[in-house]
């Protein structure tokens, strides 16, 4: 790859003069051609090593916190899978296992009050942004103690105190919302000159996550055009796990070998980042967030990742081979970071790591117990509440709407 | 919170008649401008609202007054800017989104039907979308099938939003001001055919409460229920019926969500007969809903089965004569009233 010979860093902006001859090769699992290896997606979307890496300045304590967050997500998802198989969780359930570094890495490049919005594979973002495992699991179980009082479910993890504007079920539909969040943040700074909540005006960045399956939805392209036109500080993050359900990316998307071409069409900076290595995410994504905040220009990131589980709990995974999954697991994000902390950083022992895992397992078990013990939403008070913020007589022929219980997160 | 700031709806409304005659489009402009002056979270976005001065001149002059950061031209990208408004309203702004025609809102259906009315519920009460979508609804002048949508039948099926549909300049201003301060999403349906209509709009500030019908004409023989532009067809029909000795109540619903069924039932108890006039197609229309509610709540007061007058159940035609016949026009209304009185 040309990027390997770049002097200081490969920004991954994909000004690659020699794209692969055939698109599928890039994502092929044939060993001789893959970019996958023990080092991750080698040569693709990576910053070269060195003391100039922004992640070198991240403290040991912070990195250990990131590791804890990633392990927590994985253990939470393991419990979700179990509860789903026990039919304690209904509907669809899309697990984040394999992609943990992405949510934790990108969210930790933000300020606490930068808004984010994501799609339906949203448990990881919710937890990484600070939602308690209890509120998240209780929502999965459809309980009143859940983040949406059991009215949203797996695909709708909303968390107002943590500026998480939700998981959204329709593919791509959340991307214009991301532009809208950036618009509002810019509007309060530039026009109102104060925060909508009465606080000081700040320069903010909005993150709008999407799966690679959303690349071909009109909503994304409209959102990118609006963001480019209006100079909105939003970063569209493609969580490129290579499959939209069972359709491999090159079977559904043109220019799959260079998704940043989509961004160029809208005058937006595009970046490709290896998303299995959280340090690499930070190295490339943090400067991008800073640029976006400073210049109020949008960006688009092709974040290479992988889900170890099926698309949802009902996916038999006939469309990919086990050795492909196994190959990616050799670059597991949690293992990569753990090895770094035990090796280069020498700030964590095997025993420390075991303790982190044990703690996360216990917290996930506690969340399940909490969810099971929590009451279901009361139909009399909850079925007809939160439909209108300002209920009035005559809105329904059946009965009047009401105000329900206070949301547990508020 | 129910409104973005306190509004005293118990205050009696100023006189409906007077001599400050302005156009429907000017009334809309006054409503938006007043609310934008009061609240800097309010902005207007849509196709041609700024530099073009409004495709129908509704926002004429507003760019000069408020600047390009608050009067914002959007590209032809309804799903995009409707979705942008969803995010901005969740964040805490109060967007007014102009659809040049509600017909074009169909390409934004996912945002306005799937996101806007459900967000408060899906988030367990954390976020709603206090956004006003407004634009021309119903047949314009020979615009053909794709540009003549009446969306109220389709959209009123969905819980979570309010729908206001003024029939005159006075209501246009008072209802739009209420729509902007209401904390719920409001779909505001105007009509290209009425934008040049002139009528009295008071100088003083007023907000028309949602869910309160306006009895536009009093009679005793039959109740005419309508909303939006066809209210005017009803008033014309009533005038002609009067000459033949038939007097009717004409109820202008002003909003169909909420729907003032009380006022309908009150009138029906007096007249015993009801005709609902609705510009949508008949199948699963607002008229169907009104009649169902009347049957559920006042069946014993009916001296004749309820009747409905809708647009003809065909795509909107282009030819002038066909379009005129397609609409729920005066002739159809007169026939329906006479039929309910068994005068035919």
- Same domain? For B226 and B299 the reply is yes
The helix (H) or strand (E) run that includes residue B308 is strand B307-309
- Same domain? For B196 and B225 the reply is no
CB A93 within 8 A of CB A84: yes
Contact list in A for residue B72 (CB cut-off 8 A) is: 230
Which chain B residue shows the shortest CA-CA distance from A198?
Answer: B92
CATH of residue B236's domain is: 3.40.50.920
Confidence (pLDDT) at A25: 32
The answer to whether residue A276 scores a pLDDT higher than 60 is yes
Comparison of pLDDT for A59 and A39, the residue scoring more: A59
Confidence (pLDDT) at B79: 98
* Three-state secondary structure string covering chain A: CHHHHCCCCCCCCCCCCCCCCCCHHHHCCCCCCCCEECCEECCCCCCCCCCCCHHHHCCHHHHHHHHHHHHHHHHHHHHHHHHHHCCCCCCCCCCCCCCHHHHHHHHCCCCCCCCEEECCCCHHHHHHCCCCHHHHHHHHCCCCCCCCCCCCCCCCCCEHHHCEEEECCCCCCHHHHHHHHHHHHHHHHHHHCCCCCCCCCCCCCEEEEEEHHHHHCHHHHHHHHHHHHHCCCEEEEEEECCEECCEEHHHHCCCCCCCHHHHHCCCCEEEEEECCCHHHHHHHHHHHHHHHHHHCCCEEEEEECCCCCCCCCCCCCCCCCHHHHHHHHCCCHHHHHHHHHHCCCCCCCHHHHHHHHHHHHHHHHHHHHHHHHCCCCCHHHHHCECCCCCCCCCCCCCCCCECCCCCCCC
Where in the sequence is the domain holding B173, given as residue range(s)?
21-200
Q: From its phi and psi, is residue A301 left (phi > 0), alpha (psi between -120 and 50) or beta?
A: beta
Contact list in A for residue B114 (CB cut-off 8 A) is: 170, 173
List pLDDT tens digits, range B57-114.
999 999 999 999 999 999 999 999 999 999 999 999 999 999 999 999 999 999 999 9
Contact list in A for residue B89 (CB cut-off 8 A) is: 180
The rounded distance, in Å, linking the Cα atoms of A391 and A385 is 9
- Final residue of a domain: which of B169, B200, B231? B200
Which active-site residues of B does the annotation give? 78, 147
Q: Do B124 and A146 touch (CB under 8 A)?
A: yes
The rounded distance, in Å, linking the Cα atoms of B291 and B288 is 5
- Same domain? For B187 and B222 the reply is no
Picking from A71, A79, A75, A73, the residue whose alpha carbon sits closest to that of residue A313 is: A79
CA distance A226 to chain B (A): 7
- Same domain? For B194 and B232 the reply is no
Q: Quick one: fold of A54-311+321-373?
A: Rossmann fold (3.40.50)
The rounded distance, in Å, linking the Cα atoms of B294 and B268 is 9
Give how many domains chain B has, as a whole number. Answer: 2
Confidence (pLDDT) at A314: 86
Query: What number is the average pLDDT over the span A311-330?
Result: 88
CA distance A147 to chain B (A): 7
- Cβ of B272 under 8 Å from any chain A Cβ? no
- Cβ of B259 under 8 Å from any chain A Cβ? yes
Low-confidence ranges of chain B (pLDDT < 70): 1
- Final residue of a domain: which of B200, B223, B247? B200
- Final residue of a domain: which of B156, B177, B200? B200
The tokens for B11 are: 């205050």
Segments in B162-319 forming alpha helices (H): 169-181, 230-243, 261-271, 286-298
B208: in domain: no
The helix (H) or strand (E) run that includes residue B277 is strand B274-277
- Same domain? For B161 and B74 the reply is yes
The burial class, CB within 10 Å (0-12 / 13-18 / 19+), for A294 is exposed
Complex ipTM > 0.85: yes
B127: in domain: yes
CB A367 within 8 A of CB A137: yes
Strands B198-200 and B21-23: antiparallel
- Same domain? For B62 and B114 the reply is yes
Confidence (pLDDT) at A40: 43
- Same domain? For B52 and B162 the reply is yes
Contact list in B for residue A152 (CB cut-off 8 A) is: 122-124
Q: Do A177 and B128 touch (CB under 8 A)?
A: no
Q: Where are the domains of chain A?
A: 54-311+321-373
Contact list in A for residue B257 (CB cut-off 8 A) is: 394-395
> pTM for the whole thing?
0.93
Which chain A residue shows the shortest CA-CA distance from B292?
Answer: A397
The rounded distance, in Å, linking the Cα atoms of A163 and B97 is 24
First to last CA, chain B: 52
Q: How confident is the model at residue A49 (pLDDT cuts 50, 70, 90)?
A: low
Chain A residues 314-373 with a CB less than 8 Å from chain B: none
Confidence (pLDDT) at B224: 98
- Same domain? For B193 and B321 the reply is no
CATH of residue B177's domain is: 3.40.50.970
The rounded distance, in Å, linking the Cα atoms of B237 and B247 is 10
The answer to whether residue A21 scores a pLDDT higher than 50 is no
Look at the block and give the residue holding tokens 């990484």: A128
Confidence (pLDDT) at B29: 98
Q: Do A156 and B182 touch (CB under 8 A)?
A: no
Q: Do B115 and A179 touch (CB under 8 A)?
A: no
Chain B residues 79-108 with a CB less than 8 Å from chain A: 79-93
The rounded distance, in Å, linking the Cα atoms of A329 and A331 is 5
- Give A269's strand partners: A299
Confidence (pLDDT) at A47: 73
CA distance B21 to chain A (A): 32
Q: Which of A42-56, A60-74, A299-313, A326-340 has the lowest mean pLDDT?
A: A42-56
């Amino acid at each position: 790859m040309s990027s390997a010979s770049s002097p200081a860093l490969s920004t991954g902006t994909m000004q690659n003069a020699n794209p692969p001859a055939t698109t599928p090769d890039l994502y092929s699992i044939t060993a001789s051609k893959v970019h996958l290896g023990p080092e991750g997606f080698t040569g693709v979307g990576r910053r070269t090593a060195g003391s100039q890496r922004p992640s070198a300045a991240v403290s040991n304590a912070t990195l250990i916190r990131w590791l804890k967050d990633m392990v927590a997500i994985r253990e939470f998802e393991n419990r979700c899978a179990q509860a789903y198989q026990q039919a304690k969780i209904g509907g669809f359930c899309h697990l984040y296992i394999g992609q943990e570094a992405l949510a934790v890495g990108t969210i930790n490049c933000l300020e606490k009050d930068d808004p984010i919005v994501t799609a339906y594979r949203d448990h990881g973002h919710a937890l990484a942004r600070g939602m308690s495992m209890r509120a998240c699991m209780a929502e999965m179980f459809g309980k009143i103690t859940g983040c949406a009082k059991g009215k949203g479910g797996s695909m709708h993890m909303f968390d107002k105190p943590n500026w998480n504007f939700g998981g959204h079920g329709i593919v791509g539909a959340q991307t214009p919302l991301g532009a809208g969040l950036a618009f509002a943040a810019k509007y309060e700074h530039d026009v109102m000159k104060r925060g909508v909540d009465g606080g000081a005006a700040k320069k903010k960045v909005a993150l709008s996550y999407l799966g690679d399956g959303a690349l071909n939805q009109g909503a994304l392209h409209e959102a990118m055009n609006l963001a480019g036109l209006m100079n909105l500080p939003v970063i569209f993050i493609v969580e490129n796990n290579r499959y939209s359900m069972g359709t491999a990316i090159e079977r559904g998307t043109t220019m799959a070998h260079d998704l940043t071409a989509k961004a160029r069409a809208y005058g937006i900076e595009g970046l490709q980042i290896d998303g299995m290595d959280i340090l690499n995410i930070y190295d490339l994504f943090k400067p991008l967030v800073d640029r976006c905040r400073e210049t109020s220009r949008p960006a688009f990131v092709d974040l290479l990742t992988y889900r170890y589980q099926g698309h949802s709990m009902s996916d038999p995974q006939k469309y990919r081979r086990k050795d492909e999954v196994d190959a990616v697991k050799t670059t597991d994000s949690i293992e990569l970071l753990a090895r770094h902390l035990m090796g280069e950083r020498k700030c964590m022992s095997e025993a420390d790591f075991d303790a982190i895992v044990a703690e996360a397992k216990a917290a996930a078990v506690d969340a399940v117990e909490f969810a099971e013990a929590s009451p279901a939403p009361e139909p009399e008070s909850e079925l007809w509440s939160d439909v209108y913020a300002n209920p009035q007589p005559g809105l329904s022929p059946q009965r009047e709407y009401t105000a329900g219980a206070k949301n547990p997160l508020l | 919170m129910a409104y973005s700031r306190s509004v005293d709806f118990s205050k009696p409304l100023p006189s409906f008649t007077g001599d400050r005659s302005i156009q429907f489009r000017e009334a809309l402009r006054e409503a938006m401008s007043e609310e934008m002056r009061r609240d800097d979270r309010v902005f207007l976005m849509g196709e041609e609202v700024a530099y073009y001065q409004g495709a129908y001149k509704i926002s004429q002059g507003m760019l000069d007054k408020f600047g390009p950061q608050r009067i914002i031209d959007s590209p032809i990208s309804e799903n995009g800017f409707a979705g942008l408004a969803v995010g901005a309203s969740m964040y805490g702004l109060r967007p007014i989104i102009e659809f040049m025609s509600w017909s074009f809102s169909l390409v934004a259906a996912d945002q306005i039907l799937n996101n806007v009315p459900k967000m408060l519920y899906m988030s367990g009460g954390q976020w709603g979308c206090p956004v006003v979508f407004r634009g021309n609804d119903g047949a314009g002048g020979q615009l053909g099938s794709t540009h003549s949508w009446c969306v109220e039948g389709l959209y009123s099926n969905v819980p979570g939003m309010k729908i206001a549909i003024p029939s005159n300049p006075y209501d246009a201003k008072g209802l739009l001001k209420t729509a902007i301060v209401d904390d719920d999403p409001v779909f505001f349906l105007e009509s290209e055919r009425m934008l040049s209509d002139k009528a009295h709009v008071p100088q003083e500030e007023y907000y028309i409460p949602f869910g309160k019908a306006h009895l536009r004409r009093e009679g005793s023989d039959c109740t005419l229920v309508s909303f939006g532009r066809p209210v005017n067809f009803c008033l014309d029909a009533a005038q002609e019926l009067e000459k033949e000795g038939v007097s009717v109540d004409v109820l202008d619903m002003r909003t169909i969500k909420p729907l003032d069924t009380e006022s309908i039932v009150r009138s029906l108890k007096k007249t015993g007969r009801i005709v609902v006039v609705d510009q949508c197609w008949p199948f699963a229309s607002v008229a169907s809903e009104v009649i169902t509610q009347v049957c559920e709540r006042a069946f014993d007061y009916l001296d004749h089965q309820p009747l409905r007058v809708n647009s003809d159940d065909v795509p909107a035609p282009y030819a002038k004569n066909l379009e005129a016949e397609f609409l729920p026009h005066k002739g159809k209304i007169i026939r329906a009233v006479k039929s309910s009185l068994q005068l035919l």
